[in-house]
Amino acid sequence: MGPIQFIIGAIIVLVALLFGGLWAFQTYAIYRFGTGSDTPEELGLAEVRIVNTSADDGTPLRAWVADPMPGKPVIISFYGNYASIGPSMRRLSPLIEKGYGVAVLEYRSSGTAPGVPGEENFISDARVLYDELDTIMNTTIPTQQRIIHGYSLGSSIAVGLAASRDSAALILEATFDRLCRFQKKRLRGFPMCTLMWKERHDVVDRISDIAVPVLIGHGKLDKAIPLGWAEALFEQTPEPKTFKIYEDGTHTNLFEKGMIDDIVSFIEALNPN
């Protein structure tokens, strides 16, 4: 083998290794959900029950739900990476205590849930939860009583749902504009926004399809998702929109820094009468 053939062969091998590594990363390394199998009772959530349904492809799905008080809306919520459904429902308990209904979808591969995780699967499953909400809640939940909420990675699922189903409002907590920016930061500058072809969660590309009031909350001290990423998303978000910055907020403590009250005020302002 001559030197030119050797160089060409080496380049082909390196390219194959690069794309093989990127495929493996996007397939196996992006999603890291909690593996716990808590029950509502174990977490002290007496008002929460578990509902089982199925995805469009037959994969079993599970949601934790709390029924709304009369006249109160239902918050359809999607949690973030490195989390699980039980603790995620528990952090929403202040909203349950205020009478709001809450429905949280358990992601595929989260906890003991079966199925293959992935952006399109998550959004498709979110639509199933939305479409079956009346049955799940044992009562009719009109569009003007449906609020969509997403935290961190769940913001992408929330925007995907809000872009394809009618709702009263969208709330994004500790959100990003493109997940590849997080992966680039995580991998110390590796150009993931150029190289990733799947599991991108390009929220900014879907946000222009939103036609309801939007509330975005972000912590100034968020080290996982810099404030500037949320600001970039907010710039592309159609009106009406509200942006709240929490001076002492990190990636995980916004509810403790005032976002619960801001959510309540935001929702109540939707129907002032």
At residue 15, the pLDDT reads: 59
Of all residues in the chain, the percent with pLDDT exceeding 90 is 78
**How does pLDDT run across 83-120, given as a tens digit for each residue?**
999 999 999 999 999 999 999 999 999 998 999 999 99
> Do 26 and 42 sit in the same domain of this protein?
no
The answer to whether residues 19 and 51 belong to one domain is no
Radius of gyration, CA atoms only, the chain: 20
pLDDT of residue 272: 55
pLDDT at residue number 75: 98
Residue 168, Cα to own-chain centre: how many angstroms?
A: 18
**Per-residue pLDDT for 62 more than 90?**
yes
Alpha-carbon distance of 50 to 130, in angstroms, equals 16
Residue 124: the pLDDT is: 98
Q: What is the pLDDT of residue 14?
A: 64
Query: Are 129 and 232 in a shared domain?
Result: yes
Tokens 């009346």 locate to: 134
Per-residue pLDDT at 192: 79
Q: How many domains does the chain have?
A: 2
Shared-domain flag, residues 110 and 207: yes
Domain co-membership, 119 together with 232: yes
Domain of 111, in residue numbers:
34-270
Q: Mean per-residue pLDDT for 70-81?
A: 96
**229 sits in which H/E element:** helix 227-236
Amino acid at 93: S
pLDDT of residue 109: 93
User: Which residue, 96, 93, 83, is CA-closest to 105?
Assistant: 83
The reported pLDDT for the residue numbered 226 is 96
Q: How confident is the model at residue 35 (pLDDT cuts 50, 70, 90)?
A: confident
Q: Quick check: bond before 191 cis, omega within 30?
A: no
Rounded to two decimals, the pTM is 0.92
Q: Is 270 helix (H, G, I), strand (E, B) or coil?
A: helix
Residues 113, 133: one domain? yes
H/E stretch holding 161: helix 153-162
Which pLDDT value is given to residue 185?
Answer: 85
Q: Each residue of 176-218: pLDDT tens digit?
A: 999 989 888 888 787 878 888 789 999 999 999 999 999 999 9
29-45 as b/e, with b when 16 or more CB fall inside 10 Å? ebbebbeeebebeebeb
**CATH at residue 42:** 3.40.50.1820
Instruction: Note the pLDDT of residue 3.
Output: 76
Whether residue 116 sits in one domain with residue 24: no
167 and 235 fall within a common domain:
yes
The answer to whether residues 9 and 123 belong to one domain is no
pLDDT above 70: percentage of residues in the chain: 90
**Which residue would you say has higher pLDDT here, 240 or 29?**
240
Residues 6+ apart with CB under 8 A from 102: 48, 64, 65, 66, 74, 75, 77, 89, 92, 95, 96
pLDDT of residue 79: 98
Is the same domain home to 45 and 22?
no
AA identity, residue 257 = K
